[in-house]
Structure 1
Amino acid sequence: MRHVDPAGTGRAGAQAQPDDHPLPTPGTLPDTSVTDPAVNHHVNPRTDDLAVNPGTDPAVNPGANPGMNPERSSGTNSGVGRAVNPALNPAVDPDMNEVVGRDDLLLVTLDTLRYDVAAELAAQGRLPNLARHLPGGVWERRHAPGSFTYASHQAMFAGFLPTPATPGPHPRLFAARFAGSESTAAGTWVFDTPDLVGGLAKAGYHTACIGGVGFFNRRGALGSVLPGLFAESHWEPGFGVTSPTSFEEQVRRAEQVVAALPAGRRLFLFVNVSALHQPNWFHLPGATKEAGDSRETHAAALEYVDRHIGRLFAAASARRRCFAVVCSDHGTAYGDDGFTGHRIGHEAVWTVPYAHFFLDHGEPTT
């Protein structure tokens, strides 16, 4: 178990002594998380993957590929459902059994981003840093697995990323072992844990979360569920929806997380970007709080994210090649058909932008 140092840097410290945590009240479980209240940086001893099987830890055994499943590598796909599209195009449908254990992984959720706004800005050349990584320079149109942050992320962390908005079945990148699955394909990385985060930890990855919206703030039981899946999690008010500099602060923390990790250790980094979520009026010059948020301020928030996302990509690929998934968890309505907000069944909410791609080692910041 690691300690968080008093300065809040999150670097590993001394082992906790037996009296560091009081004995629990009879009939209750002890709180085994370690917290620095100044920055809300958590290390979760239950999922801290620093002690792993050396035979499958790439840091100890560079030749190990913990993502390989013997059944799947033999091509039988036994017990995990029907194979879909066994002939893979590596540029579009990478074999995740080769990726996991070899590359670092980055999942970025652009919380609340609408597909139509993202597609328009990419087509207009207003997202230069994102667009140069999007396959063909365009976002893929997909359907969200949920209509609000909590539901959508629970699904994504179970392997259900946004689904292509065309008839399927569509092979998934990640999937829990589940008999009868019609979206588990030859290139799907299958895990035997309840969630993807735990599966990657078991495969030797250090898992780190940089939260944004309130479901990641650990300020209550509900806000602790999603970050609690990770070995290391970070949130502070500067990362939240009311901060005009939220994404810059999140990127700075991501750079620190990467720099603190041993070079040989594989990393799964998750960043929930809060900048697009309401309120976002302050990202558009001349907009006012009284006028409120609009489709235009939503677009300005995405341009703000694009200006800084190159630094995040550079950090994620600083140690080795990185496989990145960048997507929205759900959209939001700005008066569409009389609706405002999300957690509703509307086209503006369930249709989201999606992309996955490789970041080469040493990716430039711009």
Structure 2
Amino acid sequence: MKPEKRLIYLDNNSTTPVDQRVLDTMMPFFANNFANASSTHQFGVGAHEAVKKARNQVADIIGAETNEIVFTSGATEAINIAIKGVVENYSEKGKHIITVLTEHSAVLDTCKYLEKKGFEVTYLKVKSDGLIDLDELKNYLRDDTVLVSVMYVNNETGVLQPIKEISNLTHSFDALFMTDATQAVGKIQIDVDDLGIDLLCFSGHKIYAPKGVGALYVRQRQTRIKIPALFHGGGHERGLRSGTLNVPGIVALGKACELSKEGMKSNAEQIKTMRDYIESKLLLISDTFVNGNISHRLYNVTNICFVGADSEAVIMGLSNLENNSPLIAVSNGSACTSASIEPSHVLIAMGLDENKAFNSIRISLGKFNTIDELDIVIDEVKKVVENLRAMIH
């Protein structure tokens, strides 16, 4: 048998490896402390206490109160509970929703579903750098707007939207402001009060916790937001999400939030240095450019167009099992939509033509990457891109 190839993983925006400290924290809740957190016996109370601690850790990373945190199976579920819940409960105010063309499919597909149910959705365009135009938002806000949902950090480009300004505008029309902060939580400082966020969603598996656990923040102070349950039975999670709690996952999410908060500054500096390094080297390849605003973006991601090199072919070339080079994992956009061979809806919304959208690669770094790995990646990308371009000419 061949020895396993070394892996260089640069797809942290689609998922991250589980931090060993997170794994160590959650393991006892599979084997020894396996009680149901709703049970009233002493064994159950122990599990309940562990969930309570995790709820504190999650609330702490976004400046929320513990009674504002609802545990879910991930951001997609949290988004569904939030959007469907708000429009159902606030339909007396109106049936108008505003979101953005570059949102994750979890938001876009939920909005498309609601359009069939008689809701009106405005999809804001973005400028060529991926940012929305605040004046356009202002023009579309109406008295019957119930919800504005704008993603904090774009998963494909890393572009950061001006969340505070957006929430101020939203509130001036008495609408609620929600953000999908899946790529932001744990990476940058977030204070839901300072930013004026009413609802916020995120997933554990983007911050070194396992897949299958996430959280929804629902504001209960100043304005108390009421949303009806999507699941019924048992009344868990303040009645918003019935079902036996995933104690190991919740404990893991809590620990991951705690570690992210502790390491936020040092991780940011280390990862940004690596991102800037690999980006500057790859841009030396002819006919390349970065997609998205480079001053308003998160420090861990670069989305680069290699004109004339098909991204699928680049991905395959970098994960070639035949040669001796390491297996390199990069992506061409959102993992949730990669099953469909469509150009990235984010890049198309930014005005790229289909060819250039199909020539774009996302490299997203994490805290376990090293500079040494990047030199290998730079060499391999050059080789693969040059070979692909040579085949065309």
TM-score, normalization by structure 1: 0.31
Highest CA radius of gyration, 1 or 2? 2
TM-score, normalization by structure 2: 0.29
